[in-house]
């Protein structure tokens, strides 16, 4: 059976992380993933959209046994307790993904503080609720709060420079996310084949683990990551297109239907984003070129400088997904979508990937070494 340092650190069976994708909740997907032996991550981005995008918040609380009238701490507490209840008997391991970008840092503090409080008040949860995963922001400054509370800390970066900053900050597991990844991606297009081994060489040691993200979707890509020195992989798009995924059916079907060159990059909420290629996303890309050209030139902008009509277009398009309106919908996905052509159950998918990885790794020596 494949095993890595990630398995030993976190207590999972297989060196795979199910990405904490938003803006949909993934409360049911996280449970299914954790019970399948991988690290399940709860998305929390829907928690701060109650007033400006209530359809997102509504989906989050409905799938997490919370109520629309709940505030952020109450809703998150209910989701965490539900998740624990549904994974504890199978030994499933889970965590939360929290965006810590400057625009929403106040919400990040609320969610992380709530997670710490809930686990302290329910100490049995420590056997299963083990990880806080931060993203879309600077890791420096979070160590005392997260690791001080006894959590394993993971953070995602798109560059060697970012990985070195993570190491300085004290991150336990650095996730190197190549430009192939879906939804939020980096300002500079460095892909996994270059980024992952470079990050491994720069920061991996006895205290710091490295995981690859962006383009990983099956046994072939898992094996490649492990051979390049990674301790595991994170997958988003592949887990999105599963039966237990909370994402809207038209989004999941869009991933399965995506073919060769089926994605494009345009503006997203916190920077560049990768979308399934549709007439709607084509239009968004053209608007991005005119109003936020830095997305294609590697020059960051933010809410103080961007034409906010781009963000409003995105909000309207995400709402269209919730309403099942294919013509107006924007649906994020990684480049791996073009290699995904089915919608299996999570556990079945994981078992197939693990068997394929094992077969490939066993065959490497006999095929290529005399």
Chain-centroid distance of CA 50 in Å reads 21
pLDDT for the residue numbered 206 = 93
Residues 326 and 360 in one domain: no
Q: pLDDT per residue over 295-320, tens digit each?
A: 999 888 877 888 889 999 999 999 99
Question: Is 16 in contact with 222 (CB distance < 8 Å)?
Answer: yes
Residues 27 and 174 in one domain: yes
Q: Which two tokens stand for residue 365?
A: 């020596």
Angle between helices 279-291 and 309-322 (to 10 degrees): 160
Residues 326 and 347 in one domain: no
pLDDT for the residue numbered 322 = 87
Q: Which two tokens stand for residue 151?
A: 């959590």
Domain that holds residue 172: 5-252+340-368
Of the chain, the percentage scoring pLDDT greater than 90 comes to 76
CB-count exposure of residue 259 (10 Å: 0-12, 13-18, 19+) = exposed
Residues 135 and 47 in one domain: yes
Residue 139: HSE in the Cβ half-sphere, 13 Å Cα cutoff: 28
pLDDT for the residue numbered 94 = 98
Residues 34 and 155 in one domain: yes
Angle between helices 160-169 and 192-203 (to 10 degrees): 30
Prediction pTM value:
0.94
Mean pLDDT of the chain: 93
Residues 323 and 361 in one domain: no
pLDDT for the residue numbered 370 = 63
Q: Tell me the C-alpha distance between 103 and 100, whole Å.
A: 8
Residues 242 and 303 in one domain: no
Angle between helices 54-63 and 309-322 (to 10 degrees): 40
Query: What is the count of structural domains for the chain?
Result: 2
Residue with tokens 């624990």: 84
pLDDT > 80? residue 141: yes
Residues 127 and 59 in one domain: yes
Question: How large is the average pLDDT for residues 340-352?
Answer: 97
What DSSP state is assigned to residue 152?
Answer: E
Q: Is cis: bond before 226, omega within 30 of 0? A: no
Q: Which two tokens stand for residue 38?
A: 């991988």
pLDDT > 90? residue 230: yes
Q: Give the dihedral sign, CA 305/303/298/137.
A: positive
CB-count exposure of residue 14 (10 Å: 0-12, 13-18, 19+) = buried
Residues 248 and 284 in one domain: no
Instruction: Supply the CATH number for residue 39's domain.
Output: 3.20.20.70
pLDDT for the residue numbered 93 = 98
What 3-state class would DSSP assign to 138? Answer: coil
Instruction: Detail the DSSP E strand segments found in 165-250.
Output: 173-177, 183-184, 209-213, 233-235
Residues 174 and 269 in one domain: no
Q: How many residues does the chain have?
A: 370
Residues 156 and 273 in one domain: no
pLDDT > 80? residue 336: yes
Question: How large is the average pLDDT for residues 175-191?
Answer: 93
Residues 132 and 170 in one domain: yes
């Amino acid at each position: 059976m494949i095993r890595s340092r990630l398995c030993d650190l976190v207590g999972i069976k297989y060196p795979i992380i199910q990405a904490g994708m938003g803006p949909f909740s993934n409360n049911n997907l996280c449970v299914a993933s954790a019970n399948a032996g991988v690290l399940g991550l709860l998305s929390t981005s829907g928690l701060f959209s109650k007033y400006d995008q209530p359809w997102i918040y509504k989906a989050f609380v409905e799938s997490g046994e919370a109520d629309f009238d709940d505030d952020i701490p109450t809703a998150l507490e209910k989701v965490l307790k539900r998740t624990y209840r549904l994974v504890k008997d199978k030994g499933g391991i889970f965590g939360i993904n929290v965006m810590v970008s400057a625009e929403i840092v106040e919400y990040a503090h609320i969610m992380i503080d709530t997670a710490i409080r809930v686990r302290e008040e329910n100490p049995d949860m420590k056997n299963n609720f083990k990880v806080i995963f931060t993203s879309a922001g600077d890791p420096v400054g979070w160590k005392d709060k997260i690791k001080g509370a006894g959590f394993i800390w993971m953070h995602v970066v798109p560059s060697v420079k970012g990985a070195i900053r993570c190491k300085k900050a004290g991150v336990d597991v650095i996730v190197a996310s190549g430009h192939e990844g879906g939804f939020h991606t980096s300002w500079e297009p460095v892909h996994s084949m270059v980024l992952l081994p470079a990050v491994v060489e720069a920061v991996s040691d006895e205290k710091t683990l490295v995981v690859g993200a962006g383009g990983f979707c099956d046994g072939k890509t898992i094996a490649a990551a492990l051979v390049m020195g990674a301790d595991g992989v994170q997958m988003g798009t592949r887990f999105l297109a599963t039966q237990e995924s909370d994402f809207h059916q038209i989004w999941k079907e869009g991933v399965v239907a995506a073919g060769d060159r089926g994605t494009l990059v345009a503006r997203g909420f916190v920077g560049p984003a990768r979308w399934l290629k549709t007439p709607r996303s084509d239009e968004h890309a053209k608007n991005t070129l005119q109003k936020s050209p830095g997305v294609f030139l590697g020059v960051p902008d933010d809410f103080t400088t961007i034409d906010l009509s781009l963000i409003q277009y995105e909000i309207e398009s995400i709402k269209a997904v919730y309403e099942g309106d294919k013509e107006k919908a924007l649906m994020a996905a990684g480049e791996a979508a073009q290699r995904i052509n089915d919608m299996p159950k999570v556990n079945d998918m994981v078992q197939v990937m693990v068997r394929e990885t094992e077969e490939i790794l066993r065959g490497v020596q006999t095929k290529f070494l005399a």
